[in-house]
Every structure is written in C-alpha cells, then in structure tokens.
Amino acid sequence: MLELRTFAAHFPNTGSEYAILIYTVPEKIKSDIRLRATLRQQASARIPTQYGHFEMYAYSEDANDPMPHIAFVGEGFNPALPVAVRIHSECMTGDVFGSRRCDCGEQLDAAMQIAAAQGGVVIYLRQEGRGIGLINKLKAYNLQDEGLNTIDANTHLGFEADTRQYEAAIAMLNDLGIRQIELITNNPDKVNALKKSEIEIVGRIPIVIAPHAENQDYLRTKQDLMGHLLGL
C-alpha cells in the first residue's frame, strides 16, 4: 500500500498556496525500478497510426509483463544521426481520455507528430501504474477540487525529477543503437538526467501547448515551481 501524505507551503513569488503530495514508495517498487536497467526487447510490430508509420517495440524484464515500456520508432529512423526523442510518462487520463487537468495528451500528440515527420522515437514509460497509480492521482485531483492548488508531485512533477526512472529510457535508447538525441521536452530536469548517461543531447525540441482554462494553474505551477520552459 502506498502511503500518502500532504503538506501545504506558501510560495511568496506566486502568492499562492500549494499542497505537495509526498508518496512513500515501498521497497518492492523501489527494487522493481532498479531492475528496469536490465530491460529486454520482448517483441516488436509495425503499427500504422494517424501520424504515420511506426515500429513499436515492447521492453520488459519478463516476457509476460502485462505493462511493458514502449518505444515507438518513426519511419526513416537512423540511429547513425541525431534522433528526435520524447520520453513520456504514462498519464491515462490525459493520454487516452484527453483530460484537460494536464497537458500530457497534447504533448504526446505533438511528440508523435514530430517522431513521424523526423524518424524520431517516443519512449512511453509505464510510470502511472507502477508509480503512484491512477487511484492516488484521482485522490490528488479531489484535493485540488477542495480548493488546494495541488501539485501532483509524483505523476507529473516530482517523480519525473527522480533520475531512476530514466534508467529504463536509457536502456531502451541504447538497445535501439541511439547515441545522439534531440530531446523533445520543456523540462530541464529531463535534459539533466540524460546528461549523466552515455547518450549525448545535441539539441532540445520544445513543445508549445496553448493553455486551457482548466489547466492554466497546472501549467503555471510547472513553469514557476518546477522550472519548465513554457513561455507563459
């Protein structure tokens, strides 16, 4: 069982109250995260999409893992050249159902377009199910609706800053033979985490998403408190 704790803090620069959720990750999940460094490519298949043609690779330790990490590789992919890469953490509400509480779905959509056009790669990490999970995310949303300006620290912000999750992405990029990347991100933490690997970042491709009324506070929090480069 994941333990959920909250505290509120006042940030003078923004004049707003934020509640930050702290999730205590149990030992079993911690060791699970460490094991991802030994991921193996289990299967791949051609997947035509609305964006273009992709080859989809599934990576896991166990061939029967029901939630493998995914690498979508765009047509024209050439690992001898710098590759446009998006590292995306699963957000079912945003990615699948188009939730406007965050900008994950729109970022994934933009990244798929870039990968299709440039022979790029979208790495899809199954963080939501293995990290805090959907249930805790919905509980966090309820806190927001009760009036707290909440950062969902684990799913969208804090946990992304944890470099351990990038071990899986780095293992997948290495397996695909990628040495140089242009990272599709607005998040400087992702750039910093990958700088510690052997993969060279030769550029950053920003994604500009127009804010909606429903996610304006969320995007501003990302920019003001987490250093995302959103130009708001």
Provide the annotated active-site residues.
162, 164
**Interface map 133-152 toward Zn ion (x if CB under 5 A):** --------------------
Nearest approach in angstroms of CB 219 to Zn ion is 11
Comparison of 39 and 110: residue with beta carbon closer to Zn ion = 110
Q: What is the distance between the alpha carbons of residues 171 and 135, in angstroms, rounded to a whole number?
A: 29
Segment contacting Zn ion by CB under 5 A, of 65-73, 100-108, 133-141, 199-207: 100-108
Q: What is the distance between the alpha carbons of residues 83 and 179, in angstroms, rounded to a whole number?
A: 8
When binding is defined by CB under 5 A, the residue of 104, 193, 194, 230 that contacts Zn ion is: 104
Residue burial 63-94, b: 16+ Cβ < 10 Å; e: rest: eeeeebbbbbbbeebebeebbbbbbbbbbbbb
When binding is defined by CB under 5 A, the residue of 21, 58, 85, 102 that contacts Zn ion is: 102
Contact predicate 17/29, CB 8 Å: no
Segment contacting Zn ion by CB under 5 A, of 68-76, 85-93, 184-192, 215-223: 85-93
Comparison of 87 and 91: residue with beta carbon closer to Zn ion = 91
Helix count (H) and strand count (E) of the chain? 8, 10
And the tokens for 220? 């501003």
Contact between 120 and Zn ion by CB under 5 A: the answer reads: no
Nearest approach in angstroms of CB 104 to Zn ion is 3
Comparison of 102 and 173: residue with beta carbon closer to Zn ion = 102
Contact between 94 and Zn ion by CB under 5 A: the answer reads: yes
When binding is defined by CB under 5 A, the residue of 71, 91, 151, 219 that contacts Zn ion is: 91
Virtual torsion, Cα 146, 151, 152, 157, nearest 10 deg: 170
Nearest approach in angstroms of CB 152 to Zn ion is 8
Binding residues among 36-75 for Zn ion as defined by CB under 5 A: none
Comparison of 91 and 111: residue with beta carbon closer to Zn ion = 91
C-alpha gyration radius of the chain: 17
Contact predicate 184/162, CB 8 Å: no
Contact between 219 and Zn ion by CB under 5 A: the answer reads: no
Q: What is the distance between the alpha carbons of residues 225 and 16, in angstroms, rounded to a whole number?
A: 11
Site residue total, Zn ion (CB under 5 A): 4
Q: What is the distance between the alpha carbons of residues 80 and 180, in angstroms, rounded to a whole number?
A: 8
Binding site for Zn ion (CB under 5 A): 91, 94, 102, 104
